[in-house]
Amino acid sequence: MFELIELTDRTSYIQSPAKIGLVRLDGGEVCLIDSGNDKDAGRKLRQILDRNGWKLRAIYNTHSNADHIGGNKYLQAQTGCKIYAPGIDCAFTRHPLLEPSFLYGGFPCKDLRHKFLMAQESDAEYLTDAALPEGFESIPLPGHFFDMVGYRTPDDVVFLADCLSSRETLEKYRIGYIYDVAAYIRTLETVKSMQARMFVPSHAAVTEDIAELAQYNLDTVYEIAERIVALCAEPLRFEAVLQKLFAVYALTMNFEQYVLVGSTVRGYLSWLKDSGRLSVSFENGMLLWRRAG
């Protein structure tokens, strides 16, 4: 873990729970794409920088989930580097309490205020084209989270963040975290047709051809949607839909899974309602979901 793996003369990644990009710039400077899940990850990244005599110019976050911004604060304090994050995710990076609050739908209890869901705050700036190193391109990849982006490096390596999961992860857990299902589908359709020298997903193997994995992720989304519609043949409150999905996919309920899978299922329900496949009614003080028609 935390092995530096070279892809090209300029672009490498660091193997960690969420892959971290490292791109060499001019004059012994480098930039990182994401920073790992916590302070300890930041220390390990600093050791890699020091061993190679590199100066960290900036961290470019793909989005604000804690496992991608957890090393920000440590590295910024140690190196004085700039940190950039896209759109709404910049606010979450500056104020990490927003993430567990958003997932839970209110002030989160202590069980949710930990490094898995809440990084330490860092002084991030909004990502703009002007903030990118020469030859870099940011790629909008919304769906998994608010304004998530990927990055194409000058030597045509594309870092895809969390826009897709590995086949192994989906086969084990089935329901990956998604905020906006419609946007996620559009992103996967875009990624499926992308061309690059190499693709680096955060949670899947590096590959030269991403189309097959993108399609598998799409197929999984549609499978889950069909499952939800079938469950709602009879009117169900949200908690009952969630309970049945946990049973179908043999998932284990705890606070983290309740908010992550629960938030995802709410996203599916919204998408299915907006697309006319589900309807709602309010009965006996409950919101009930049912198959439309």
Which residue, of 162, 186, 211, is where some domain finishes?
Answer: 162
The candidate with the shortest Cα–Cα distance to 145, out of 67, 49, 44, is 67
Kindly state whether residues 152 and 12 are assigned to the same domain: yes
Which residue, of 113, 136, 162, is where some domain finishes?
Answer: 162
Kindly state whether residues 157 and 250 are assigned to the same domain: no
**Per-residue pLDDT tens digits for 148-178:** 999 999 999 999 999 999 999 999 999 999 9
What pLDDT was estimated at residue 79?
Answer: 98
- In a domain? residue 125: yes
Residue 208: exposed, middle, or buried by beta-carbon count in 10 A (0-12, 13-18, 19+)?
Answer: exposed
DSSP 261-285: HHHHHHHHHHHHHHTTSEEEEEETT
C-beta of residue 290 within 8 angstroms of C-beta of residue 279: yes
Kindly state whether residues 112 and 248 are assigned to the same domain: no
Kindly state whether residues 117 and 239 are assigned to the same domain: no
Domain count, the chain: 2
pTM of the model: 0.97
What pLDDT was estimated at residue 150?
Answer: 98
Q: What domain range is 278 assigned to?
A: 232-291
Kindly state whether residues 19 and 112 are assigned to the same domain: yes
Kindly state whether residues 153 and 263 are assigned to the same domain: no
Q: What is the mean pLDDT of residues 246-264?
A: 97
Q: What is the mean pLDDT of residues 226-234?
A: 98
Give the span between the Cα atoms of 287 and 282, in whole angstroms: 5
Give the span between the Cα atoms of 68 and 173, in whole angstroms: 20
**Per-residue pLDDT tens digits for 61-120:** 999 999 999 999 999 999 999 999 999 999 999 999 999 999 999 999 999 999 999 999
**Per-residue pLDDT tens digits for 137-150:** 999 999 999 999 99
DSSP 148-169: -EEEE-TTSEEEEETSS--HHH
- In a domain? residue 199: no
What is the token pair recorded at 287? 């919101």
Kindly report the average pLDDT of the chain as a whole number.
97
What pLDDT was estimated at residue 293?
Answer: 81
The candidate with the shortest Cα–Cα distance to 48, out of 83, 99, 13, 72, is 13
Give the span between the Cα atoms of 23 and 32, in whole angstroms: 7
SS3 70: coil
What pLDDT was estimated at residue 1?
Answer: 83
Give the span between the Cα atoms of 202 and 232, in whole angstroms: 34
Q: Of all residues in the chain, what percent carry a pLDDT higher than 70? A: 100
Give the span between the Cα atoms of 249 and 227, in whole angstroms: 11
